[in-house]
Structure 1
Amino acid sequence: MAGSPLNANLWTDADVYISTNLAAALPADAETPWGVDWSLVGLLDGDEGFPETRDEDTDDKFAWGGILVRTSRQHFKLTKSFTALEDNEVTYSLLWPGSSPTQIVVPRPAKVKIGFETREGEKVRRLASALYAEVALDGDHGENESDLESMTFAATIFPTANGVLFDRQTTPVLESLSIPATLSVADGAIGSLVATATYSDATTADVTAEASWSSSAPAKATVSAGFVTGVDPGSATVTATYQGQTDTCAVTVT
């Protein structure tokens, strides 16, 4: 099977954040918490997820003979939806923008910043509106005795003058693991190997202590936490494994 299962995503948790401050700062990176300007929407319907709709007017241009030569594109619109399950101050402000706790007025969506975050284990992906969004109820809203009260909102994302819709943040993804290709160690002596992880943002990290280590021939050489002990003259293959990535070292015991 071609490809890497590590690149397949099954998001197990998610949140939506709203800020009425259009100058609200985005967290420094995907591992930094959202700041005080951002308010959590609360519980979301995971089955509904974050559906995304793209609308664009296209016009095909044909030459004689019916040959397609150009397609003009304009009026692009991106809408991203989510279903909230909590009745709180944030969802009330989205459901009834401009209303007070004691009076409901005709809703007119306000300009807000919106952030979408999905998580799977330590993997995080964030999208935050680069300019602003307008959030409005999408469909019906009501209460009954057999279903949770829910509100599906559609956020229309307005781009910057340069066409930027979102600022995107992700945690770096492990791409490879490397250890030295060869190691020579005397009988009864101890040598060491370092396991280096390389991530999608080109950063590296020493993961020697976190990696799992094994030897193909423990009678010749054993390994623990990267330390290789020569047991008897001969050869062995030492393998390091970390988060699905592996590399090997040919060990010679003299």
Structure 2
Amino acid sequence: MSGDPTLANLWTDADVLVSPNLSATLPADANTPFGPDWNLVGLLDGDDGFPETRDEDTDDKFAWGGILVRTSRQHFKLTKSFTALEDNPTTRALIWPGSTDTQIVVPRPARVLVAFETREGDKVRRLITALYAECSLDGDHGENETDLESATIACTIFPTAGGVLFHRQSTPVLESIEVAPATLGVDVGEIGALTATATYDDGSTANVTAEATWISSAPATATVTAGFVTGVAAGAANVSASFGGQTDTCAVTVSAG
């Protein structure tokens, strides 16, 4: 089987955050929490997830003889939905915009910023509306004695003048690690140091020597702990560092001294 299983995603947790302040400060990156302008929707229906619908008018242009030569496209519309399981001020403001604790009025969707966040372990992906969204109830909403009260909310995403729909933030994906030096010579009883450097898909790097798992192929010849290699007996050993599913190896030669 070809492919890279590390690039397959199964999101085990998620949140939706909403801000009525269209000038709300965005987090600097995927590891930065949202600020006080942002309100959590709360519990979500994970089975429903974040379905996305794209609508666009297309018009095919044919040459004489029925040959397709052009397709015009206009009126693109993106809608992203979620199902909320909590009745709280944030969800009520989306379901019944303009209403109060004592009065329900005809809903007129307000313009809000919406952030969709999915998580799996340390991996985070965020889509934050670049301009704004208008959110409204999608389908029926009611109460009964057998199912959790829920509300499916559809958010129409409005693009910027440049056509940008979302700001995307995600934690970088590990691409490789490198053990340095690639070869190491030590005497019996001597200690040599190795480092493990991780490289991510955004071009960033990090020293992961302390976090990596280190293994020696011949502990009777050389042992390794946190990147520190100790010569035990004359001979050769391969010392490997593993981190995030990636591995690299250093060839170690131990001399009698």
TM-score by length of 1: 0.98
Identity across matched positions, percent: 75
In structure 2, what is the equivalent of residue 74 of structure 1?
74
Residue 219 of structure 1 and its aligned partner are, at CA, apart by: 1.7
CA deviation map 1:134-174 (0-9, x unaligned): 00000000000011000000000000000000001001111
The question of 1:101 aligning with 2:88 is answered no
In structure 1, what is the equivalent of residue 210 of structure 2?
209
Residue 217 of structure 1 and its aligned partner are, at CA, apart by: 1.2
Residue 3 of structure 1 and its aligned partner are, at CA, apart by: 2.2
1-structure distance, mates of 2:65, 2:39: 57
In structure 1, what is the equivalent of residue 120 of structure 2?
120
Equivalent position amino acid for 2:4 in 1: S
2-structure distance, mates of 1:212, 1:253: 21
In structure 2, what is the equivalent of residue 218 of structure 1?
219
What's the secondary structure of 1:91's corresponding residue?
helix
2-structure distance, mates of 1:156, 1:196: 43
2-structure distance, mates of 1:167, 1:22: 14
The question of 1:22 aligning with 2:26 is answered no
What's the secondary structure of 1:90's corresponding residue?
helix
In structure 1, what is the equivalent of residue 46 of structure 2?
46
2-structure distance, mates of 1:36, 1:111: 18
In structure 1, what is the equivalent of residue 12 of structure 2?
12
Residue 70 of structure 1 and its aligned partner are, at CA, apart by: 1.1
What's the secondary structure of 1:113's corresponding residue?
strand
Residue 7 of structure 1 and its aligned partner are, at CA, apart by: 1.0
1-structure distance, mates of 2:233, 2:63: 78
Structure 1 stretch 99-108 or stretch 1-10: which is displaced more?
1-10
What's the secondary structure of 2:195's corresponding residue?
coil
Give unpaired runs (5+ residues) of structure 2.
none
Equivalent position amino acid for 2:16 in 1: V
In structure 2, what is the equivalent of residue 251 of structure 1?
252
Equivalent position amino acid for 1:227 in 2: F
What's the secondary structure of 1:164's corresponding residue?
coil
In structure 1, what is the equivalent of residue 240 of structure 2?
239
What's the secondary structure of 2:147's corresponding residue?
coil
Equivalent position amino acid for 1:216 in 2: S
Equivalent position amino acid for 1:163 in 2: G
Equivalent position amino acid for 2:220 in 1: A
1-structure distance, mates of 2:9, 2:68: 37
Residue 132 of structure 1 and its aligned partner are, at CA, apart by: 0.5
1:80-229 alignment to 2 at 5 Å?
80-180=80-180, 181-229=182-230
Structure 1 stretches of 4+ with a deviation exceeding 3 A read none
What's the secondary structure of 1:70's corresponding residue?
strand
CA deviation map 1:49-104 (0-9, x unaligned): 00000111111111122221111111000000000000111111111111111111
Equivalent position amino acid for 2:20 in 1: T
2-structure distance, mates of 1:86, 1:223: 52
Equivalent position amino acid for 2:161 in 1: A
TM-score by length of 2: 0.97
Give unpaired runs (5+ residues) of structure 1.
none
